Amino acid sequence: MMRAALAILKKDLRMEFRSKESILAMWIFSLLIFVIFNFTFEVSRLVMLEIAPGLLWVAFVFSGMFGLNQSFALEKENGNLRAMALMPVDGGQIYVGKFLSVTLIMLMFEALIFPIFIIFYDLQLSLEMLKLIPVILAGTIGFTSLGTILSAVAVHTRNQQILLSMLLWPLVSPIIIWSVTLTGMVVSGEVTPAFYPLLLRVGAFDVIFFTLSYMLFDFILED
C-alpha cells in the first residue's frame, strides 16, 4: 500500500547519500551556531545549562529549514513535482515518502551534531539523557510533518525560502517551545511530573499535523 512512499524514500536517501548535500550543510551550519555561541558568551555553567536547550533547537530547526527547502527544490528541478502529480498514487503516499525522507535525514543530522553539542556545552552523560530521545523524536516529527507540506506549497513560489519561514514558524512554534522546555528538564536533570504530559502534548500535535497534511497533500500537487 505504501510502495510509492517507500520508493520516494529510497530515491531521496540514495540521492542524499550520494551528494551529502543536505546533511553536510546542516551539520556545518549547526557547528557554526555552537562555536559562535560558545565563544561569544562567557557565562557560568548554570546559565549555559539554561540556554543550551534553546541553542540545540535553534541549530535543529534552522538546519532543518535547509533540509526542507532542499527536499522540494530537488523535485521542482526537471519538473519532477509535476511527475508526482501524474503518478497513479494518492497524494498522501507522496507526502509520507517525502516526510519520511526529510525526517530521517534530519534525525541523522541530529545524531551527528548531538555529540558536538555535548562536548561544547560540557554536559554530563547519564542514563537520564536517554529521555532526550523521545523529546527529539517528537519535536523533529512535529517540525517535519508540518514543514513537508508547507515546503510543497512554498516550492511553487519564487520566494520559496521566505514563504516557508513565514508559513512554518507561527504554526510550529508551540512544538519547538515545548521541545526546548522538555530538553531543558532533561539537560538540567530536573525532570518534573510535568514532563510526560508535555511530551504527550507534542506527540498529539504531531499526530494532528501529520494527519491533516496526509489528507490535504492531493490538493497541493494540483496546478
Partner 1 sequence: MSVPALQVDNVSKDFGRIIALRSVNLSVNPGEFVSILGRNGAGKTTLLNIISGVSRPSEGSVLLFGTDPSDHDNKAKLAVISHEMFLYGNLTAVENLEYYAKIYELADATQRIQEVLNDVELTHRRFDLVSTYSRGMTQRLTIARALLHQPALLLLDEPFTGLDQHAIGMLISLLKSQKELGRTIILTTHDLHTAQELSDRYVVIAKHRIVKDGVMAETSPDVLRSEFFSAIGGEDDS
7 belongs to the binding site for partner 1 (CB under 8 A): yes
125 burial type by CB count under 10 A (0-12 exposed, 13-18 middle, 19+ buried): exposed
If one asks whether residue 13 binds partner 1 (CB under 8 A), the answer comes out as no
Write the CB contacts of 211 (distance below 8 Å, at least 6 apart in sequence).
none
Q: Compute the distance between CA of residue 175 and CA of residue 177 in angstroms, rounded to an integer.
A: 6
- CB-wise, 81 or 154, nearer to partner 1? 81
- What is the sign of the dihedral through the CA atoms of 134, 103, 214 and 181? positive
Pick the closer one to partner 1 by CB: 44 or 78: 78
CB 7 to partner 1: min, Å: 4
Is residue 3 part of the contact set for partner 1 (CB under 8 A)? Answer: yes
Kindly state the smallest distance separating residue 221's Cβ from partner 1, in Å.
8
**In the complex, least distance from residue 94 CB atom to partner 1, rounded to whole angstroms:** 10
Closest approach of Cβ 90 to partner 1, in Å?
8
User: Which is it for the CA torsion 116, 32, 67, 165, positive or negative?
Assistant: positive
Contact 195, 185 (CB under 8 A): yes
Decide whether 69 or 140 has the Cβ nearer to partner 1: 69
Q: In 3D, which of 148, 176, 122 has the Cα closest to residue 12?
A: 148
Q: State CA 174 to chain mean position distance.
A: 14
In the bound state with partner 1, the residue whose beta carbon lies nearer, of 10 and 45, is 10
Grid coordinates belonging to 117: 553539542
58 binds partner 1 (CB under 8 A): no
State the binding string over 73-112 for partner 1 (x if CB under 8 A, else -): -x--xxxx-xx-xxxxxx----------------------
Record the cell numbers describing residue 107, joined without a space.
Answer: 534525525
Among the residue ranges 10-18, 24-32, 121-129, 164-172, the one whose residues contact partner 1 (CB under 8 A): 10-18
Check: CB of residue 24 under 8 Å from CB of residue 105: no
Name the residues that contact partner 1, by CB under 8 A. 3-4, 6-7, 10-11, 14-15, 18-19, 74, 77-80, 82-83, 85-90, 222-223
